[in-house]
Amino acid sequence: MEFFDLQPTLQWMFVPKKIPNCPPGLEYLAQINQLIVCQRFDLQDVIGNLETSKAYEVMNNQGERIYFAEEKSNFFLQNLCGSSRPFTMTIYDNVGRDVITIRKALRCHCCCINCSLQKLKVEAPPGETIGYVYQNFHPFLPTFKLKNENKEDVMKIRGPCVISSCIRDLNFNLLSLDEELVLGNVSKHCPGFVTGLLTDVDKFGIQFPFDLDVKIKALMLGASFLIDYMYFELWS
């Protein structure tokens, strides 16, 4: 696929040293506490107003590209099912290596039916599961749990009570399991991040502690795509 690169001068982040017991490619995440994700477009799709796939730049707060992400999904399911569609998101590093794979099954977008709650699996490297993101039932709030490879809860994500275009900043907070500490967030507006990049496109930010385990940071990245599909796209 040929892409119309809205930022042709975007530089890749330098390749970090290998870290013991760190999945290959996640070393980049060990050095950062912020990410900004911007959608890229196929020029023909922009002109024809027809999206056949989705691709994203994943950058640090200096505007350096860390990863390139590409969704692979069925065209008809993408248009028929919207945010409920199944997809596989492949995330590449600067040498074209597959470092993260995010897999989502087809689930009905209905938070009142427990069997239809959204979930996805995150693999790093592809084929090796490092964790899961599960949507939880809540009568008022969009909530999610981050689980490790053994499906043990590690953290929670909670969104605002009202998902509406009247909200200026849409923040989903990363919480400790007891919900006493706010450790980060996924946000539609990302103050403190790079400004002026890729304006008028789908763009959201992610914040987490520097010392957070790189696997949980990768789970946060996976959760951000799920939240984007379920809420940010509707709000844009």
Radius of gyration of the chain (CA): 17
Chain centroid to CA 90: how far?
11
In a domain, 142, yes or no: yes
Q: Is residue 173 part of a domain?
A: yes
Does 198 map to a domain?
Answer: yes
Alpha-carbon span 173 to 123, nearest angstrom = 23
Q: What is the pLDDT of residue 139?
A: 80
Domain of 153? 26-235
pLDDT confidence of residue 64: 92
Residues 236 and 228: their CA atoms lie apart, in Å, by: 10
- Taking only the tens place, the pLDDT of each residue in 85-101 is 678 999 999 888 999 99
Within-domain flag for 20: no
pLDDT score for 233: 64
1 belongs to a structural domain? no
Short-list 159, 164, 213, CA closest to 185? 159
Give the pLDDT of residue 191: 43
Given this model, what pLDDT does residue 179 score? 93
Q: How far is CA 78 from CA 74, 84, 131, 178, 235, in A?
A: 6, 8, 25, 36, 18
Q: Is residue 109 part of a domain?
A: yes
pLDDT by 10s per residue, the chain, length 236: 333 444 556 788 888 888 998 999 999 999 899 999 998 865 444 444 445 568 999 999 888 999 999 987 666 556 655 556 678 999 999 888 999 999 988 665 554 455 568 899 999 999 999 999 999 988 888 999 999 999 999 999 999 875 554 555 689 999 999 999 999 999 986 444 444 444 445 789 999 999 999 999 999 999 999 998 888 665 54
DSSP code of residue 4: B
Residues 16/20/26/32 CA torsion (nearest 10 deg)? -60
Give SS3 for 197: coil
Indicate the number of domains in the chain: 1
What are 199's two structure tokens? 């304006």
In a domain, residue 4? The reply is: no
Nearest CA to 133 out of 89, 164, 81 is that of: 89
Whether residue 101 contacts residue 130, with contact meaning beta carbons closer than 8 Å, is answered with no
Residue 205 is assigned to a structural domain of this protein: yes
Contact 170, 187 (CB under 8 A): yes
pLDDT tens, residue by residue, 44-63: 444 444 455 689 999 998 88
Q: Which pLDDT does position 71 carry in this prediction?
A: 86
DSSP state of 12: B
Q: What is the pLDDT of residue 15?
A: 81
Query: From CA 124, how far away is CA 117, in angstroms rounded?
Result: 24
pLDDT score of 43:
47
Residue 189 CA to residue 204 CA, distance in Å, equals 6
Please tell me the distance from the alpha carbon of residue 192 to that of residue 172, in angstroms, as a whole number. Answer: 16
Looking at residue 96, its pLDDT comes to: 87
CATH at 179: 2.40.160.200
Amino acid at 147: K
**Which residue has 């709000």 as its token pair?**
235
